[in-house]
Structure 1
Amino acid sequence: MVSGFRRSLSMPGSNPSDSPARRRCDKPQHLRSISLPCRSHPTLSHLLDQIRSCPESGPRSPASGLDRIDRLLSALDDLLRLPQTQDALRRRPAWADRVLDGFLRLADAHGSFRSAVVAVEQHHAESRAAIRRRDPVRLDSAVRSHRRAEKELIRLATAIKDIARSPPLICSDAAEAEVAGIVADVMAAAAATLTAVFLGIAAALSSVAGSCSKSSWTAWLSRRPSKKGSEEAEMAAMEALEERMEGLEEGSGRVFRSLVNIRVSLLNILTPSL
Structure 2
Amino acid sequence: MVTGLARLKSVLDSLDDVLQLPQTQDSLQNDVVEKLLEDFLRFVDAYEVFHGVLLGLRQEVSSAQVAIRRKDNSKLGLYVKAHKKFANDVAKLVGTLTERSNEVVKPDDEIYIVVRDACRLTASISEAVFGGMSGSFGPGRRPIWAGLGLGIRKARKEEEGVGEFGKVVKGVESLLEFRKRKSNNNNNNDSNREEVKMGVLKGMQEMEECVGEMERESEKVFRSLISNRVSLLNILTHA
TMscore range, shorter length: 0.7 to 0.9
Q: How does 1:171-182 map to 2 (within 5 A)?
A: 171=105, 174-175=108-109, 178-182=110-114
Does the CA contact (< 8 Å) of 1:131 and 1:231 recur in 2?
Answer: yes
So what's the TM-score if we normalise by structure 1? 0.67
Residue segments in structure 2 that go unaligned for 5+ positions in a row: 137-163, 184-188
> Contact 1:147–1:206 (CA<8 Å) still a contact in 2?
no
Identity %: 29
Distance change >3 Å, CA 128–CA 141, structure 1 → 2: same
Counterpart Cα distance in 2 of 1:134 and 1:262: 48
Report the secondary structure of 2:175's partner residue. Answer: coil
| CA distance in structure 2 between the aligned counterparts of 1:76 and 1:168, rounded to whole angstroms | 20
Partner of 2:62, secondary structure, is: helix
Tell me the amino acid that sits aligned with residue 74 of structure 1.
Answer: D
* Matched letter for residue 83 of structure 2: H
Partner in structure 2 of residue 98 of structure 1: 35
Aligned residue number for residue 170 of structure 1: 104
* Range 114-123 or range 204-213, more displaced: 204-213
How far apart, in 2, do the equivalents of 1:139 and 1:119 lie?
A: 15
Tell me how far apart the structure 2 counterparts of residues 115 and 211 of structure 1 sit (CA, whole Å): 24
Q: Which residue of 1 aligns with 2:167?
A: 207
TM-score, normalised by the number of residues in structure 2: 0.75
**Does the CA contact (< 8 Å) of 1:63 and 1:248 recur in 2?**
yes
How far does residue 221 in structure 1 lie from its aligned partner after superposition? 6.1
Shift, 1:82, TM fit: 1.4
**Secondary structure of 1:189's partner?**
helix
Decide whether the 8 Å contact of 2:165 with 2:207 is kept in 1. yes
Would the aligned equivalents of 2:60 and 2:82 in 1 still touch at CA under 8 Å? yes
CA-CA distance at 1:231 after TM superposition: 1.7
Counterpart code for 2:7: R
Q: Describe the SS at the equivalent of 2:228.
A: helix
Matched residue, 2:225: 259
Residue ranges of structure 1 left out of the alignment (5+ in a row): 1-61
Report whether the alignment pairs 1:121 with 2:58: yes
Partner of 2:84: 147
- What amino acid does structure 2 have at the position aligned with 1:222? K
Q: Which residue of 2 aligns with 1:81?
A: 20
Distance 1:226 1:149, change over 3 A: same
> What does residue 191 of structure 1 align with?
123
**AA at the equivalent of 1:66:** L
What RMSD in Å do the two structures reach over aligned CA positions?
2.4
User: Aligned match of 2:70 in 111, 120, 133?
Assistant: 133
In the TM superposition, what are the counterparts of 1:18-29 in structure 2 within 5 Å? none
State the secondary structure of the residue aligned to 2:104: coil
What is the CA–CA distance in structure 2 between the aligned matches of 1:212 and 1:173, rounded to whole Å? 54
